[in-house]
Structure 1
Amino acid sequence: MTQLPHTRTRTVHWLATTAALAAVLGASALLQPADATANPAESTARASGAPDPGAAHYPMDCGGASARTDVLDKGTADFDGDGLAETVAVVRCKAEGGTPPSAVFVLAHPAHKGAPPRIVATLVRQKERMSVKDFTTGAGTVSATLLGYSSPDVPRCCPDKQRKVKWEWKNGKFALTPAPVAGSVSV
Structure 2
Amino acid sequence: MQPPAGLPHTRTRPVHWLLTALALAAVLVGAVLLGPGDATAGDGPAAPFAVAPDPAAARYPLACGPVGTEVGDTAVADLDGDERPETVAVIHCRAGAGTPPDGVYVLTAGAGTGSPPRVAATLVDPARRMNVSRLRVSEGTVSATLLGYSARSVPRCCPDLRRPVEWRWRDGKFEPVTRPVTGRA
Q: CA deviation at 1:164?
A: 0.4
Q: Deviations over 1:42-99 (max 9, x none)?
A: xxxx99610000100111121x2x2211110100111122211000000011111110
CA distance in 1 between counterparts of 2:107 and 2:90 reads 11
In structure 2, the partner of 1:100 is 100
Q: Could you tell me which runs of 5 or more consecutive residues in structure 2 were left unpaired when the two chains were aligned.
A: 1-47
Q: Could you tell me which runs of 5 or more consecutive residues in structure 1 were left unpaired when the two chains were aligned.
A: 1-45
CA distance in 1 between counterparts of 2:159 and 2:96 reads 19
CA gap of 1:52–1:149, structure 2 versus 1, over 3 A, is same
In structure 1, the partner of 2:74 is 74
Q: Give the secondary structure class of the aligned counterpart of 1:110.
A: coil
Is 1:136–2:136 an aligned residue pair?
yes
Question: TM-score with structure 2 length normalisation?
Answer: 0.70
In structure 2, the partner of 1:51 is 53
In structure 2, the partner of 1:37 is none
Give the RMSD, CA atoms, in angstroms: 1.7
| Aligned amino acid, residue 51 of structure 1 | P
CA contact (8 A) 1:47 1:76 kept: no
| Aligned amino acid, residue 95 of structure 2 | A
Question: TM-score with structure 1 length normalisation?
Answer: 0.69
Matched pairs, number: 136
Q: Give the secondary structure class of the aligned counterpart of 2:62.
A: coil
Identity value in percent: 53
Q: Give the secondary structure class of the aligned counterpart of 2:163.
A: strand
CA contact (8 A) 1:146 1:163 kept: yes
CA distance in 1 between counterparts of 2:83 and 2:72 reads 26
| Aligned amino acid, residue 60 of structure 2 | Y
